[in-house]
Amino acid sequence: MKAYERLLKYAVVRTPSDDDNSSTVPSSACQFDLARLLEQEMKELGLSDVRLDDKCFVYGRLPATPGLEDAPALGFIAHMDTVADFCDHEIRPVITKNYDGGDLALGDSGLILSPDDFGHLKELAGRTLITSDGTTILGADDKAGIAEILTMIEDIQRDKIPHGTICVAFTPDEEVGTGASQFDVESFGADYAYTLDGDTEGEIQFENFNACKAQFDVKGFNVHPGSGKDTMINASLVAMEINSLLPGMETSRGTEGYEGFYHLMSMSGECAKAQLNYIVRDHNKNFFEARKHTLRLIEKNLNEKWGEGTVTLTITDQYKNMDEIIADCMHLIDNAKTACENAGVTPIVLPIRGGTDGCQLSFRGLPCPNLGTGGHAYHGPYEHITVEGMDKSVAVITELVKLYAR
């Protein structure tokens, strides 16, 4: 089976994780629907030690070719959940053969996938493009990674490619940042691993953001507006003031590469109370701490201005930059570059403007950089991927298996 055929099968199984209304792992029971499907498929592919645990992690292993038992055990990991946005009804993948690189109507949604918005589309001309119908996400993040890993497993067995032990795992709740904390690193059994959770085929990533969530709760003082002179404290206006004190260009729209940002995720408010929810990101550890200091300074100054207890800031750390771990095993990056070249793919080493399960796993003793899957425009209805990009990603990880077997 080709990788894209697997993606089409997985994409229609809706698996949105739930960051708002759940404190369990998995955060949504629907993730078990895909997990059970994958458990069965892994058994059919001949993997051993296949198991689905009560936290919705699926594990399996392909034993080493005789004589290669001492080769490093190599892991491949992808996540089953998707974002909840644009995932509230049936997902209908759409295949466009011989895409012309220009504007493409996404079903009857009224949305247009355009190179004016996504410049790389011109480079995809001539390929077979997979999208949704424009009313949902596609789910290539990260079901493409799952499809590519299992296709690689099928290919190396069919072609009798010598290999060391290959460890496979599919995880829940990556999108809400909680899944990897429950990952069973010891029983997984890999010496090193790669997540397949990136974008363009050939991407190699081992530097990610330091990340936290920041929540401002604002308590107002509500009286009749006709008698509010020097008395009323409008919580919504204070919330607007908080946002105005942040650097205006340090948003996700205004930054790139290694530049960090403050991103306002949601806001709510009335006169008596208001709330702002941000995510804060920076690759540089010192810059990241400076960003948190800025938030605390805003809390301090506004409480001095409006009265103690008016503004309450809660900062929750999420993950750290794994580059300090990968720095001690750069063979993972060197071999990934070589694997790309052997597969006829240009290696693209760049920082992750986000995070992956590999961030947490690296700090838990499993060095785990990230590789591209061939997908683009994740987390929204413009998400797309190509058949050819998926095939190239399969070729890259197959070449990695060969390298570590040597």
Q: Token pair 């995809």 is at which residue? A: 124
Residue 193: burial class (beta carbons within 10 Å; 0-12, 13-18, 19+): buried
Is the distance from CB of 27 to CB of 19 less than 8 angstroms? yes
- CA 149 – CA 201 distance, rounded (Å): 14
| DSSP, res 64 | P
Instruction: Count Cβ atoms below 10 Å from residue 229 Cβ, excluding itself.
Output: 8
Instruction: Count Cβ atoms below 10 Å from residue 227 Cβ, excluding itself.
Output: 8
Among this protein's residues, is 323 annotated catalytic? no
- CA 166 – CA 131 distance, rounded (Å): 31
Nearest to 356 by CA among 147, 190, 199: 199
Nearest to 388 by CA among 130, 137, 197: 130
Instruction: Count Cβ atoms below 10 Å from residue 344 Cβ, excluding itself.
Output: 11
Find the catalytic residue in 18, 39, 81, 154: 81
Tokens of 89: 């009804």
Among this protein's residues, is 174 annotated catalytic? yes
Find the catalytic residue in 18, 133, 148, 174: 174
Q: Which amino acid is at 27?
A: S
Residues involved in catalysis? 81, 174
